[in-house]
């Protein structure tokens, strides 16, 4: 069950062992491992619910490279991570952005844009590439929230509807394939002849009932109150009208570390440089996931899980000198049962 978000506190700072910036997969797993090591946590995220980009951008998409899951939907993965950490009662500070980080004696003091303060012995940055802003089609902007969106939170919302998807990457192709058996019609519009998506997915796309328009662009949107149709201009200059209850613009995202870039951590190409313990250039501040960098890193969710476990176990030793780095076997020492 997704926890009720904690959106504000007042008075003295919230006191925890570990403050986690980012409630995506790596951040949630880091909170679990912190609980397993007996550390209290607060999880800060700008989104109103846990899950990060997985929950916001592809909750219905099946993931095939998560260990022990032949296939798992993004939403199911996040729900399971929330269940896994629930016995340790992390404090969720959702719908707010971590903005400041200041040394406070041997501890760190974080501040958010909601005026919340968190006092923490250590900090784990699991914020991915920071704030994510979708690239937009100018003609679609007036219909945002009225038929135009940038991801597909729930496939069923599009049952028996006409859907147009603009883009040629994995998200665009995956959504087209997922919606094909549900929607009344699906049209995929891509400005190039070739796709950036996986070859296997593209082959499936051309075998599906999706209408594929390449070397074409959405140039106009029409509708009274809500979106009703779009105009697509092809390479030869022709304009086609397509019915569209929904236009999903999957044109990529611009990323920005935002306030994190001013915290004093060493950066490399807008990513946070870490060492083998996942520690940044600041003491007791660690970074994991796609927002960190080191030689040979592979950008996978499964890699982020390992990084989170590494960072938290090293943080546990830093906070409690003399503690063992190796956490032991969970089957022998798990302190509380995982809820059903």
> Which segments are annotated as binding site for FAD?
45, 53, 58, 98, 290, 331
Q: Which residues are annotated as a binding site?
A: 45, 53, 58, 98, 290, 331
Query: Which residues, in sequence order, are bridge partners of residue 45?
Result: 94
Locate all alpha helices (DSSP H) within the chain, ordered by sequence.
Answer: 25-36, 52-57, 74-85, 170-179, 199-207, 301-319, 330-333
Query: Which residues, in sequence order, are bridge partners of residue 285?
Result: 123
Can you tell me whether residue 40 is helix, strand or coil? coil
Tokens found for residue 296: 């040979």
Torsion of CA 135, 140, 141, 145, to 10 degrees: -100
Tokens found for residue 315: 């943080």
Q: What size, in residues, is the chain?
A: 340
DSSP 205-253: HHHSS-EEEESEEEEEEE-SSS--EEEEEETTS-EEEEE-SEEEE---E
**What does the alpha-carbon distance between residue 49 and residue 295 come to, in Å, rounded to a whole number?**
32
**What does the alpha-carbon distance between residue 113 and residue 332 come to, in Å, rounded to a whole number?**
41
Q: Which is it for strands 229-234 and 148-149: parallel, antiparallel or unpaired?
A: unpaired
């Amino acid at each position: 069950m997704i926890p009720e978000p904690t959106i504000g506190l007042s008075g003295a700072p919230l006191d925890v062992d570990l403050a986690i910036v980012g409630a995506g997969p790596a951040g949630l797993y880091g909170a679990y491992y912190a609980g397993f090591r007996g550390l209290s946590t607060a999880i800060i995220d700008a989104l109103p619910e846990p899950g990060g980009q997985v929950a916001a951008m592809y909750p219905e998409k099946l993931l095939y490279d998560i260990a022990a899951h032949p296939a798992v939907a993004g939403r199911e993965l996040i729900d399971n991570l929330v269940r896994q950490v629930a016995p340790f009662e992390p404090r969720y500070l959702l719908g707010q952005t971590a903005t400041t980080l200041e040394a406070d004696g041997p501890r760190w003091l974080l501040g958010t844009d909601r005026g919340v303060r968190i006092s923490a012995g250590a900090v784990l940055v699991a914020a991915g590439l920071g704030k994510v802003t979708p690239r937009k089609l100018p003609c679609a902007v007036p219909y945002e929230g009225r038929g135009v969106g940038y991801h597909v939170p729930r496939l069923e919302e599009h049952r028996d509807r006409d859907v147009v998807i603009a883009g040629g990457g994995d998200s665009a192709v995956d959504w087209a394939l997922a919606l094909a058996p549900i929607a009344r019609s699906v049209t995929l519009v891509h400005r190039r002849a070739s796709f950036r998506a996986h070859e296997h997915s593209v082959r499936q796309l051309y075998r599906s009932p999706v209408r594929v328009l390449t070397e074409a662009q959405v140039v106009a949107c029409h509708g009274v109150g809500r979106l009703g149709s779009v105009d697509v201009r092809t390479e030869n200059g022709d304009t086609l009208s397509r019915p569209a209850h929904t236009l999903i613009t999957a044109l990529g995202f611009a990323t920005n570390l935002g306030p994190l870039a001013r915290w004093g951590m060493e950066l490399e190409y807008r990513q946070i440089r870490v060492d083998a313990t996942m520690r940044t250039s600041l003491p007791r501040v660690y970074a994991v996931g796609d927002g960190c960098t080191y030689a040979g890193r592979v950008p996978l969710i499964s890699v982020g899980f390992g990084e989170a476990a590494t960072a938290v176990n090293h943080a546990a030793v830093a906070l409690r000198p003399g503690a063992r780095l190796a956490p032991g076997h969970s089957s022998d020492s798990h302190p509380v049962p995982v809820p059903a």
